[in-house]
A and B are shown apart, each in its own frame.
Chain A
Amino acid sequence: MEEKVLEVKNLCKFFEVNRGFQGAQVVQAVNDISFDIKKGETLGLVGESGCGKSSLGRTILRIYEPTKGQILFQGEDIAGFSRRQMLPYRQKLQMIFQDPYASLNPRFTVGEIIGEPMDIHNILTPSQREKRVQELLETVGLKPDHIRRYPHEFSGGQRQRIGIARTLALNPEFIVCDEPISALDVSIQAQVINLLEKIQKERGISYLFIAHDLGMVKHISHRIGVMYLGHMMEMGMANDVYKKPLHPYSKALLSAEPIPDPKSARARKRILLEGEIPSPIHPPKGCPFNTRCPYAVAECFNQMPAAFRVDGRQVACYLYSPKYLRKRESLNIEPLLSKEA
């Protein structure tokens, strides 16, 4: 777990939208995000729709052109690489998509779908490829004789496994999992999660696991990052973040998650946030959460706070700035850290 596979430094991705008479408007989908992922590690990324978690995953894989920042893969900055330069890296950086119905070409057979990456990168002869496809099908728990069938004959969970087999065809070292279970039925989600965990153990692959289902993310991730409107609000070890979220948004997000356990659901008090997520086209000035934050102070409306290191994790909130921590102590206010929701 020492070697860094991927390191993202100050990555930004801005989209221009509505090029109309008023000129272009800019959506800051990914805003100054930095993190790293070690070999064999899973970083979970949670947040609500529009928080930029999918854009971040797609920017790292260069589906979107990064606006600013560095993407270091095994020490090499791939952020500015041309398509030709990217080609060898395509084998090592892969992606699993959200929608198992849209991510497989409906006109291809399963064999063609899983064999395509080998065809593109000219790996193995056609007959060897067929054997490899059959092996991959077995790895993901399907039968080798499914090779001539078409995607529409499979159920959602089976298709998602076909998608995973396609990704594995190139022996990748890093996979972005873009909400791979959110379109699946509850009883099927665990199949996919267990498969991903098994593959990780066997091959030492690192995952960036994007999801909005907090329970599942906690299960698969070693570390977790919480995003809101393009910013990373909090990042730390999965258990720490879950047991004791620090950032006011993480607290609200976790307490809003419905617990599938009636007793603890009854015992728990939810933190209900006011209002909804602001439009990413007109984010509030300063910390983007200031419109809904129950603890917002004057600074929050001026400038986005830097990430402060607290308890071995990063929290982008002024409440954890040294100044405020000291102030709280001197006024003998109970620190937010121990104030549980």
Chain B
Amino acid sequence: MSDWFEPLPAEEKNSEFIAMQSKTFLQEAWERFKKNKMAVAGLIVLLIFTLLAIFGPFFSPYDYDAQDTSNAYAAFSAQHLLGTDKFGRDVFVRLCYGARISLLIGFGAALINSFTGVIIGGLCGYIGGKFDTIVMRIVDIIYAMPSMLYVILIMMVNGANVRSILIGVCIPGWIGMARQVRGQIIGLKEQEFALAALVLGASDKRILFKHLIINAIGPIIVQMTLLVPSAIFTEAFLSFIGIGISAPMASWGSMAQDARQVITLHPVQMLLPTLCICLTIFSLNFLGEGIGDALNPKKK
């Protein structure tokens, strides 16, 4: 006689089981991100550029402005890894410095713009009413002028350097982020968990930062990855038309500008900086898309 018809002991039932294994939001996002090969490739390329920008010049005996006119337009060689330009300056070192400027402006602008945008957008969305109306009208006014104008004006006043470009890029740069965050917060603040926090007696600061903005983090990061390439482009464009970073400092844009006259004779001079810009922008776009997909669980 088997005991198959005996009652099942309670501990074998486990009726309050938990369906899924425990993973935080970011762990899950990272797992989704890892599956996106293009995004991972983009991340690796960006990491290489960052490392080169920081450490590249240390491994080269040359300085970015050390001229050697006898050795102009040298080909690739062991001494000059990527050859030299019209003044005999080492192209590899100059590209590394260019990466410094591009990445500094790109990520600097993204960070500053994100911070401003999140704070202003968050406050507008949360407070609403008259405050929101007034701030959003100011935003409209700033947005109505071409953004390049701000950069050029600031550079005329402050001189052509990284700081001016950063300030110029940051005056209108936060608007997209602010609008995005404002929309998110307006939607989230009607959600029941925000009402629950209010009923529990949470302060406005706590509700806004601990409950609302943290739940808008996905769109914020995606918006951030869009801000980086636009700032890099602005710098490269300004330097290319000759009003950006001034000589002898190297930036990808100004290097391309220098190579413009000799494009038929020495096309490599043009190719290298543009390749760097393209690779960076491509990587950033793939990275941004990858992060966006990873953070948006609806696409699961």
User: B199, A103: Cβ atoms under 8 Å?
Assistant: no
User: A141, B16: Cβ atoms under 8 Å?
Assistant: yes
* Residues A95 and B199 in contact in the complex (CB < 8 Å), given A103-B192, A120-B206: yes
* Residues A94 and B199 in contact in the complex (CB < 8 Å), given A149-B22, A150-B24: yes
User: B25, A106: Cβ atoms under 8 Å?
Assistant: yes
User: B201, A99: Cβ atoms under 8 Å?
Assistant: no
Please indicate the chain A residues that have their CB under 8 angstroms from the CB of B211 in the complex.
105
User: A61, B199: Cβ atoms under 8 Å?
Assistant: yes
Judge if B1 is at the interface, Cβ distance under 8 Å.
no
Closest to B25 in A: A107
Judge if A276 is at the interface, Cβ distance under 8 Å.
no
- A85-125 vs B: 1/0 string, CB under 8 Å? 01100110111011100111111000000001100110000
* Residues A116 and B191 in contact in the complex (CB < 8 Å), given A153-B20, A154-B18: no
Please indicate the chain B residues that have their CB under 8 angstroms from the CB of A203 in the complex.
none
Closest to A117 in B: B200
Judge if A143 is at the interface, Cβ distance under 8 Å.
yes
Please indicate the chain B residues that have their CB under 8 angstroms from the CB of A186 in the complex.
none
**Centre residue among A99, A102, A149, A166 by max chain B CB count within 10 A:** A102
The number of chain B residues with a CB under 8 A from chain A is: 27
Q: Which of B19, B195, B202, B214 contacts A153 (CB 8 A)?
A: B19
Bound complex: CA of A319 vs CA of B217, how far in Å? 58
Please indicate the chain A residues that have their CB under 8 angstroms from the CB of B215 in the complex.
105-107
Bound complex: CA of A95 vs CA of B197, how far in Å? 10
The number of chain A residues with a CB under 8 A from chain B is: 38
User: A158, B16: Cβ atoms under 8 Å?
Assistant: yes
Question: Which chain A residues (132-155) contact chain B, with CB distance < 8 Å?
Answer: 141-143, 146, 148-150, 152-155
Please indicate the chain A residues that have their CB under 8 angstroms from the CB of B199 in the complex.
61, 63, 90, 93-95
User: A166, B196: Cβ atoms under 8 Å?
Assistant: yes
User: A143, B16: Cβ atoms under 8 Å?
Assistant: yes
Judge if B193 is at the interface, Cβ distance under 8 Å.
yes
Judge if B198 is at the interface, Cβ distance under 8 Å.
yes
Judge if A252 is at the interface, Cβ distance under 8 Å.
no
* Residues A97 and B18 in contact in the complex (CB < 8 Å), given A61-B199, A90-B199: no
Please indicate the chain A residues that have their CB under 8 angstroms from the CB of B214 in the complex.
105, 107
Please indicate the chain B residues that have their CB under 8 angstroms from the CB of A93 in the complex.
199
- What's the least CB distance linking A124 to chain B, in Å? 15
Closest to B196 in A: A103
Bound complex: CA of A106 vs CA of B25, how far in Å? 9
Closest to B217 in A: A107
Given contacts A97-B195, A104-B193, A142-B16, 13 further A-B contacts (CB under 8 A): A61-B199, A86-B201, A87-B201, A90-B199, A95-B199, A103-B196, A105-B211, A105-B215, A106-B193, A117-B200, A141-B16, A153-B22, A166-B196
Q: Which residues of chain A have a CB within 8 Å of any CB of chain B?
A: 58, 61, 63, 86-87, 90-91, 93-95, 97-99, 102-107, 116-117, 120-121, 141-143, 146, 148-150, 152-155, 158, 163, 166, 170
